[in-house]
Amino acid sequence: MNFATMTAVAVLVLAAPAEAANFSGKWVGKAIATSATDRFECLVTLTVTQTDTTYSQTFRFTRDGGHGRFNLDTTTFTIRGHDLLLEGELAGSISDTDVSTMVDDGWTIQSRSIDDATLSLTVAVADPGGPPILSIKGELRR
């Protein structure tokens, strides 16, 4: 699979308790990645920096054993109410319990926490207009 030549859709689920809407931290954990021809464990890292006016995220995963790595560059959104803007365009939403972002030619990352230190993660990657070709599911801790 060539990650450089595909458009991807990713769904990350990350949540925080209602009283703690700041998702900042380095979230790390094992996940299971599934494609049409393979199933494997991977290590996932989601680094989030959030202020009153910005939300930045960096996503990385490495196939178990170190074979195959993928990184999404850091993306910084402007927070305006519950909207997340990227270069002035609506690219997501944020609430006390959820974050949803769209970045890098179709990567969609949705986050919802299980508790203050744990989040559930789901990532789906697809070619343009096609069905998902890779999904990643797991739990991350900060």
Distances (CA, A) of 5 to 2, 8, 105: 6, 10, 11
pLDDT exceeds cutoff 90 at 53: yes
State how far the Cα of 26 lies from the Cα of 15, in Å rounded to an integer. Answer: 14
Q: Return the domain boundaries, the chain.
A: 7-141
Using alpha carbons, select from 115, 123, 119, 121 the residue that is nearest to residue 141.
Answer: 119
Q: Which long-range contacts (CB under 8 A, 24 or more apart) does 58-64 make?
A: 59/10, 59/12, 59/107, 59/109, 59/123, 61/31, 61/33, 61/123, 61/136, 63/33, 64/30, 64/40
What is the per-residue pLDDT across 2-40, written as a single tens digit (0 to 9) for each?
Answer: 343 333 344 444 443 333 368 899 999 999 998 888 899
Classify residue 3 as left (phi > 0), alpha (psi -120 to 50) or beta.
Answer: alpha
pLDDT exceeds cutoff 60 at 91: yes
Would you state the CATH architecture of domain 7-141?
Beta Barrel (2.40)
State how far the Cα of 100 lies from the Cα of 129, in Å rounded to an integer. Answer: 20
What is the per-residue pLDDT across 108-140, written as a single tens digit (0 to 9) for each?
Answer: 676 777 788 888 887 777 776 777 778 888 899
Give the pLDDT confidence score for residue 54 in this predicted structure. 95
Tokens of residue 78, six digits: 């402007």
- The answer to whether 105 and 6 have CB atoms below 8 angstroms apart is no
